[in-house]
Amino acid sequence: MHEFSVARSLLHSASRICREQGFVRPVEVTVQIGPLSGVESLLLQSAFEQQAAVHAAVPARLVIEQTPLVIRCLDCETESNLPDYDFRCRACDSRAVRVIGGDQLLLVSVTAEGDDDRPEGAP
């Protein structure tokens, strides 16, 4: 399952980023997924939760932001957000378009827990 390896590499990246920044573990990971990334967000969510459960030291939460499909027209240079898979320039109706957004999966942020583990309210 593709989403499973994506989830695993997201967790690895998040953990590495945390270590590099001196934090203990990631508590929340935010990714952006475009409709053409080939990643199904529901599957990724459950794959991520499974991975997080297996690695008990990483109780990370995954936040998925859907990014729009964006094309640029090769005729008039207009950039359009596509609500569907109708690959046509919204300005001039040309079909000579290039996808410039919506085909990637991006790790956009990692929220980490510090190594300061004093209980809250302690003096």
Residue type for 93, please? D
> Residues 69, 72, 73, 74: is their CA dihedral positive or negative?
negative
Stretch that binds Zn ion, among 23-31, 57-65, 83-91, 115-123 (CB under 5 A): 83-91
Stretch that binds Zn ion, among 6-14, 17-25, 53-61, 84-92 (CB under 5 A): 84-92
29 binds Zn ion (CB under 5 A): no
CB of 72 to Zn ion, least distance (A): 9
76 binds Zn ion (CB under 5 A): yes
Half-sphere exposure of 122 (CA within 13 A, CB side): 5
100 binds Zn ion (CB under 5 A): no
41 binds Zn ion (CB under 5 A): no
Q: Which residues contact 10 (CB under 8 A, 6 or more apart)?
A: 29, 31, 48, 62, 107
CB of 66 to Zn ion, least distance (A): 25
Cα–Cα nearest to 48, from 117, 113, 103, 105: 105
Q: Which residues bind Zn ion (CB under 5 A)?
A: 73, 75-76, 78, 89, 91-92, 94
